[in-house]
Amino acid sequence: MDHESKRMKSRSILLSLAVFLLSPTFTTANSSATALDRFTLPNGMRVLVRERHANPLVAVELWVRAGARDETDGERGSAHFLEHTLFKGTSMRGPGEIDSAMEDLGGALNAATGPDYARFYTTVSSTHSEAAVAILADVVRNATLPAGEIEKERGIILDELAVRDTDPHHRLQELLYANAFERHPYRYSSGGTSTGIAALRRDTLASFYHRTYAPMRCTLVLVGDISIEAAKH
């Protein structure tokens, strides 16, 4: 077997194994769920709403098309780095005030980064859903990226990557993507690498932020005790 055939066979084995290990399980348990309503705001942001009134809670999520695939060679790790630093100050709130504002609503603000997205999410009482949306909007549109906070988060991210790199599941996924995609940006780690995170500077993060965090790249998702009419207003 020649080198190229061996390489293709290796990719096929990796792909089959990863599909087995990584694929989610789909069910039809929610087939009777209420219909999903969707609309687009004048600024281009998409909104998805599903009413579920069993509990007085609303899950609020903001998805931004600003993942690792959107990074250029000099920006590797920017999507993950921003996930950590957007909370650290805006033109309206200083460091720590964003978390406090969400906690005052009885929620906690969380975030995640993937190859295609950055995701910001919380769950609050339905009476506070509008305020929660306003906080999320402040985070993704008005971040100031304080230099001191960036340096604090750099160490936290490096520790996080060190732990991640000891996870066999993660190592398998990284190996799969690196072999399956020779040119597509999916071949790069969505969390970045230690070398890349250590080298990133504030101006690079700011450039990635201003280029990718725009309304037409955002989708707001509201699920729970909220009416479609209320969501539209």
Report residue 174 as tokens: 């990284």
In sequence order, the β-bridge partners of residue 121 are: 61, 110
Residue 212 has a CB neighbour count (10 Å cut-off) of 19
Residue with tokens 């089959």: 16
Query: Which residue in the block uniquely carries the two structure tokens 């001191």?
Result: 148
CA torsion, points 33, 36, 37, 43, in degrees to nearest 10? 140
Contact in structure between 112 and 170 (CB atoms under 8 Å)? no
Give catalytic status of residue 83 as yes or no.
yes
Q: Which of 83, 149, 153, 174 is catalytic?
A: 83
DSSP label of 45 = -
Q: Which residues are catalytic?
A: 83
